[in-house]
Amino acid sequence: MRSRISKPCLAATGSMPARPSYGCWSASRISLRRARDMLGRKPIAAALDQLVAAHFPGFRLDDDLRRLVLERKTDERNFNYLPQSALGRMVARQTGFYWGTSGHTTEPVAVGAIGPGAERFRGYQDNTDFGKHLHGLLQPR
């Protein structure tokens, strides 16, 4: 089975009252889950520096996030420790886009995307429609 997507599609959302900023980078460099696997159970500073330099060009891991990864500590805003959470927060801080799962509102969200299927992610959409569009792109041909 083949997906309908031949290249990565980068989609970004923001809440209606906010002014989202747009930053683009190669979405295919590395997944955050793969970054976690590369760091292993006891990450060391040299490996973390190498991973960020190789797979997140132009990004800098802030000292507080660096400590979280190296000391395997939880961020007070997160319920569990995951090194990919710290790496995701690094990207979010420096691009202005945040990923959140703490709740939903009834307000539409601003959505934009580049790449194959981008036409499905334009303007303001209900947050449940966003998921439907993602599922539609992943259906086999």
pLDDT digits (tens, 9 = 90+) for 29-80: 466 677 778 888 888 899 889 888 888 888 888 998 888 888 887 766 654 5
- Record the pTM: 0.47
Helix 63-71 vs helix 83-95: crossing angle, to nearest 10: 170
Rounded Cα distance between 127 and 141, Å, is 25
With 50 as the cut, is the pLDDT of residue 108 above it? yes
* Contact status, residue 16 vs residue 109, Cβ threshold 8 Å: yes
